[in-house]
Structure 1
Amino acid sequence: MSNLSLSPLFRRSIGFDRFNDLFDYAMQADTPNYPHYNIEKTGDNNYRIVVATAGFNEDQLEINLENQMLTITGKSEEEKSDTTVEFLHKGISKRSFKLSLRLDENVEVQQADYENGLLKIDLQRNVPEGAMPRKISIGHKTNEQLLDESNSE
């Protein structure tokens, strides 16, 4: 029996449940794992994306939103190789990256901050009045139905 991880389904979307797109993405073999990032829910309709961008400064980072696709790009400057240094272990990765996340049509980017190597992007979901959940009573006629019945008599 194979183990199928559904965690990519929940990591790559914010504010909506479109399983066809998410399932297609989850089945791709080249799921990016750099840079590391968190998607946090900070309120009922508030989200935050936190991207670990150690070694980058604000000038090397770019955030774009086009067709509900949020793209975070980091462009590293080429390191000059120092021939006097021999690495015994090179675990600090500073390479260019492009991270794309699809947003629901009702999710808006509020602001972005960069502090201590973490890029924080605050998002807010604005649900239209017609799409808000509503309670439907059982077995009771609405005021409109009562008015229609009284007018037809």
Structure 2
Amino acid sequence: MRTFDFTPLYRSAVGFDRLAAMLESAARTSEQGWPPYNIQSTGENQYRIEVAVAGFSPEELNVEVKENLLTVTGRKTANDDGVERTFLHRGLAERDFERRFQLADYVVVKNADLAHGLLTIDLARELPEALKPRTIAIGTGGSALIEGKAEKSGKKVA
């Protein structure tokens, strides 16, 4: 497996420590392969994350957002019933997990839904009005006010 050393970035870049921490976090989470997930773009500013959580009930799953970090946690409680089970083959991984996704600024979670073993989380980027592009009207400067009457291109308007 390939590892990266971000020490030179810490030495020479001031104020980019959050970026380096995100890169290190991404490198660590790429090593974890369970549970599998998809990330889709469903529109210009809409996204969907699908996490395969076969065997988990909604009560055993937790979706939390804190400081641009989306955390999906699964805690399997069915194995705590005290009943000894003998498996001939165990192909379903019924283990606890925690999967983290770093969200960009202004990305919010709209809803989460569990169906057919897939946890679907819908996201949207909602820019504040101050950051949205706006069109500024351009004046022509052709109208002037003379002796209390507006005048446009040489014609008097009463």
**Is the structural similarity TM-score above 0.5?**
yes
Whole-angstrom distance in 1 between the partners of 2:39 and 2:61: 18
Match of 2:90 in 1: 90
* TM-score after normalising by structure 2: 0.64
Q: Give the superposed CA RMSD.
A: 3.1
- The aligned runs of 1:1-153 (5 Å cut-off) are 20-28=20-28, 31-77=31-77, 78=79, 80-82=83-85, 85-87=86-88, 89-132=89-132
Whole-angstrom distance in 2 between the partners of 1:115 and 1:48: 14
Secondary structure of the residue that 1:124 maps to in structure 2? strand
Secondary structure of the residue that 1:28 maps to in structure 2? helix
- How big is each residue's C-alpha offset from its partner over 1:113-138, in whole Å with a ceiling of 9 and x where there is no partner? 11111100000001235545689xxx
Higher strand share: 2
* CA-CA distance at 1:105 after TM superposition: 2.0
Q: CA 1:29 to 1:103, structure 2 compared with 1: closer, same or farther past 3 Å?
A: closer
* CA-CA distance at 1:30 after TM superposition: 6.6
Query: RCO higher in 1 or 2 (8 Å CA, sep ≥ 6)?
Result: 1
* TM-score after normalising by structure 1: 0.66
- Residue type at the aligned position of 1:37: Y
Secondary structure of the residue that 1:54 maps to in structure 2? coil
Identity across the alignment (%)? 34
Gaps of 5+ in 1: 5-17, 136-141, 148-153
- Name the larger-Rg structure: 2
- Residue type at the aligned position of 2:98: K
* CA-CA distance at 1:32 after TM superposition: 1.7
CA contact (8 A) 2:22 2:102 kept: no
* CA-CA distance at 1:21 after TM superposition: 4.2
Whole-angstrom distance in 1 between the partners of 2:116 and 2:67: 30
Secondary structure of the residue that 2:43 maps to in structure 1? coil
Whole-angstrom distance in 1 between the partners of 2:138 and 2:30: 56
* CA-CA distance at 1:24 after TM superposition: 2.4
* CA-CA distance at 1:68 after TM superposition: 1.2
